[in-house]
């Protein structure tokens, strides 16, 4: 042990007696050489001090406190505004374990490459040690981690997005002691190391080491690259853990639908980023449904961890404690609950501001902003006023529809799983899988038009299985097999559906009104779960019959309604051929059961009239 390492390991760790954690913090400090080390306790006083410090340093700007009390604006570097998938790696010993769906690098090479960037990077900065819990702290379904970072913005966001601080540290210590008593080897928590570095796109990597339960991220302050509890831990690392332990870590919202009889069904739904997850999670029923007694409860808007229960059902928790939502498009029409949620105590990132210093983005209202997301006087020639991937970070407890069961340590039982994407044609409004294997194929074959949540071209249709393409921490073929493995004797699995809110007519207009009207589709889905709603079999799955979905009052003509459910035979044959080629791309690890199911659909479509 060199003198520098010894120096940092001798630094007192307030409240921690877990040697593994103390040693790791010392090793990291010796590498990054901070001026100070701060162990985060998650307290209100600590958060207030963080905000005050960032205001003083210009990292956060106060917004109009009369209209948006406790709200702040952060402007990120213009080259650091989204996830960077081409610089995100899964580093397993065997390349095939990462799969063709991930960028791969050998662990030793990856550590050497990124550690060279970390060398001395925190000189002149404070190193924050952030213990956190993904999920309710007392939940057996939750998992813990520690993020080390030099960004107070990241610390503040992690406080909102996770259960961060003393309670999480106490659980980490307890689990560490229990593991040691059982003689178990391996890390007791997920270790995440992050630094802003120079915010240089040429010196930026996000490395995942699932076999070591470790994450290293350098050169970015954007949420998906820097809030290591979010996509990095809760999906890429957790999906690896879930496969080993027999559960599912998924890119899914969780929403409770309460019918007029007071019965609540919980639905998990997977959509690619910026395709309406938050809107659906916070859905407000149409007026007629509200008057009839329908209610919607928000459990989570982005990630679901689903575990088989003793009763054979899948039980889910939202591992997050907040929302990191896309601001553009959020409005009183699309998501009034979101607007109410972010009216106070919210950190906004890369939004525009009005003349009186209120946050603004495209789709909010018809005001003209004063400054764009880079702080320049607004000029339409410079592009949108708010960045298309502008975000808000806010506690989930502020949501008016926040579910009373969101903190239930045992989770909520899932009645239905819904897959969906942004498709302008081809895919009908809703259809049902005939069984679990068909449902897994539907999820594996998902495709959607790309959005601004990831760097790159927008509007390109790409396969995004279970909305997990950027987030699955291992080979997709193994991932599909893991999904199939839940279909076993005694299992009471959710019914599986696919929806498409984004079908367009010949003039390029959306056919389905969406937003709160989506409850009409969820009503049919729940009816199918309960066995009270009808369906007719088609080649691609069960479809609502005419009249099964209540369309009164939304102004759809007969032609539009039928267009929502039209199945174009030639287009679907081309789609199925493309799906077959996609599955073949995963080689021998692609489950044969999915290929058999695909051939069944191809045969059924061949027998169906065009």
250 in a labelled binding site? no
Is residue 253 within 8 Å of 302, Cβ to Cβ? yes
CA–CA separation, 6 vs 287, rounded Å? 66
Give me the helices (H) in 254-398, please.
277-281, 287-292, 336-341
Alpha-carbon separation of residue 33 from 14, 118, 124, 222 (angstroms): 19, 9, 9, 23
Residues in a beta bridge with 145: 132, 190
Q: How far is CA 172 from the centre of its chain?
A: 24
518 in a labelled binding site? yes
Q: Which two tokens stand for residue 545?
A: 């019959």
Alpha-carbon separation of residue 109 from 24, 192, 468 (angstroms): 20, 18, 26
Q: Which two tokens stand for residue 430?
A: 């809703």
Alpha-carbon separation of residue 227 from 149, 177, 554 (angstroms): 9, 27, 41
38 in a labelled binding site? no
391 in a labelled binding site? yes
389 in a labelled binding site? yes
Is 275 tagged catalytic?
Answer: yes
In the block, residue with structure tokens 């900065």: 125
Kind plus residue range of the DSSP H or E element containing 254:
strand 252-258
278 in a labelled binding site? yes
357 in a labelled binding site? no
Residues in a beta bridge with 298: 255, 402
Is residue 295 within 8 Å of 526, Cβ to Cβ? no
In the block, residue with structure tokens 């080897």: 185
Residue whose C-alpha is closest to residue 170's, from 41, 299, 281, 297:
41
Q: Which two tokens stand for residue 94?
A: 């065997």
405 in a labelled binding site? no
State the CB neighbour count (10 A cutoff) for residue 567.
Answer: 18
Residue whose C-alpha is closest to residue 160's, from 295, 349, 15:
349
120 in a labelled binding site? no
Residue 135 sits at φ, ψ, to 5 deg, of 110, 165
- Catalytic option among 40, 71, 232, 275: 275
515 in a labelled binding site? yes
CA–CA separation, 58 vs 5, rounded Å? 33
279 in a labelled binding site? yes
CA–CA separation, 55 vs 49, rounded Å? 10
- What residues have CB less than 8 Å from 531, skipping those under 6 apart? none
3 state SS for 195-242: ECCCCCHHHCEEEEEHHHCEEEEECCCCHHHHCCHHHHHHHHHHHHHH
Is residue 389 within 8 Å of 114, Cβ to Cβ? no
274 in a labelled binding site? yes
CA–CA separation, 99 vs 192, rounded Å? 22
419 in a labelled binding site? no
Q: What is the DSSP letter of 493?
A: P
3 state SS for 149-187: ECCHHHHHHHHHHCEECHHHHHHHHHHHHHHHHCCCCCC
224 in a labelled binding site? yes
Residue whose C-alpha is closest to residue 330's, from 362, 356, 301:
362
276 in a labelled binding site? yes
CA–CA separation, 20 vs 28, rounded Å? 12
Q: Which residues are annotated binding-site positions for Mn(2+)? A: 231, 251, 302
Task: List, as residue ranges, the binding site.
Answer: 83, 222-224, 231, 251, 273-279, 302, 389-391, 422, 515-518
Active site residues: 275
Binding-site members for GTP are 274-279, 391, 422, 515-518
Annotated binding site for substrate: 83, 222-224, 273, 389-391
């Amino acid at each position: 042990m060199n003198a520098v390492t010894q120096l940092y390991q001798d630094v007192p760790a307030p409240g921690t007696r877990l040697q593994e954690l103390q040693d790791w913090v010392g090793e990291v400090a010796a590498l990054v050489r901070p001026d100070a080390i701060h162990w985060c306790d998650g307290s209100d006083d600590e958060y207030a001090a963080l905000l005050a410090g960032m205001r003083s340093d210009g990292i956060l700007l106060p917004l109009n406190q009369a209209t948006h009390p406790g709200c702040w604006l952060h402007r990120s570097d213009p080259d650091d505004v989204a996830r960077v998938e081409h610089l995100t790696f899964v580093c397993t010993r065997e390349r095939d374990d990462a799969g063709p769906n991930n960028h791969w690098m050998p662990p030793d090479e990856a550590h050497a490459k990124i550690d060279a960037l970390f060398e001395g990077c925190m000189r002149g900065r404070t190193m924050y040690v952030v213990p956190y819990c993904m999920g309710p702290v007392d939940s057996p379904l939750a998992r813990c981690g520690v993020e080390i970072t030099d960004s107070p913005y990241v610390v503040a966001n992690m406080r909102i997005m996770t259960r961060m601080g003393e309670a999480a540290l106490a659980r980490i210590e307890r689990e560490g002691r229990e593991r040691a008593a059982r003689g178990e080897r391996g890390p007791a928590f997920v270790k995440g190391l992050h630094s802003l570095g120079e915010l240089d796109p040429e010196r930026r990597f996000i490395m995942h080491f699932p076999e070591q339960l470790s994450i290293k991220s350098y050169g970015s302050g954007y949420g998906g690259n820097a809030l290591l509890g979010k996509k990095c831990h809760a999906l890429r690392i957790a999906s690896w853990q879930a496969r080993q332990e027999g559960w599912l870590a998924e890119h899914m919202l969780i929403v409770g639908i309460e019918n007029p009889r007071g019965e609540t069904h919980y639905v998990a739904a997977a959509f690619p980023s910026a395709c309406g997850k938050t809107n659906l999670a916070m859905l407000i029923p149409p007026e007629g449904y509200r008057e009839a007694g329908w209610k919607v409860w928000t459990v989570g808007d982005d990630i679901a961890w689903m575990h088989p229960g003793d009763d054979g059902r899948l039980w889910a928790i939202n591992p997050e404690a907040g929302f990191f939502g896309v601001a553009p498009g959020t409005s009183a029409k699309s998501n009034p609950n979101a607007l109410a949620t972010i009216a106070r105590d919210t950190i906004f990132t890369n939004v525009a501001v009005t003349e009186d210093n209120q946050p603004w983005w495209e789709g909010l209202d018809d005001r003209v902003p004063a400054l764009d997301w880079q702080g320049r006087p607004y000029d339409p020639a410079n592009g949108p006023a708010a960045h298309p991937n502008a975000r808000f970070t806010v506690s989930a407890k502020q949501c008016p529809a926040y579910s009373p069961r969101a903190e239930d340590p045992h989770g909520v039982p899932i009645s239905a799983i819904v897959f969906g994407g942004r498709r302008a044609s081809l895919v009908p409004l809703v259809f049902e899988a005939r069984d679990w294997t068909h449902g897994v194929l539907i999820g594996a074959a998902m495709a959607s038009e790309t959005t601004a949540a990831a760097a790159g071209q927008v509007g390109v249709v790409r396969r995004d299985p279970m909305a997990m393409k950027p987030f699955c921490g291992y080979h997709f073929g193994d991932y599909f097999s893991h999904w199939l493995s839940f279909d076993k004797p005694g299992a009471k699995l959710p019914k599986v559906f696919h929806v498409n809110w984004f079908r367009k007519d010949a003039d390029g207009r959306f056919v389905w009104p969406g937003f709160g009207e989506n409850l009409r589709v969820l009503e049919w889905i729940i009816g199918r779960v309960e066995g009270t709603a009808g369906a007719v079999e088609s080649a691609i799955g069960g479809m609502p019959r005419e009249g099964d979905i209540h369309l009164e009052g939304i102004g759809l003509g007969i032609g539009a309604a039928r267009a929502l459910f039209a199945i174009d035979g030639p287009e679907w044959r081309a789609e199925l051929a493309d799906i077959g080629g996609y599955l073949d791309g995963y080689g021998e690890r692609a489950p044969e059961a999915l290929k058999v199911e695909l051939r069944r659909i191809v045969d059924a479509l061949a027998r169906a009239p065009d």
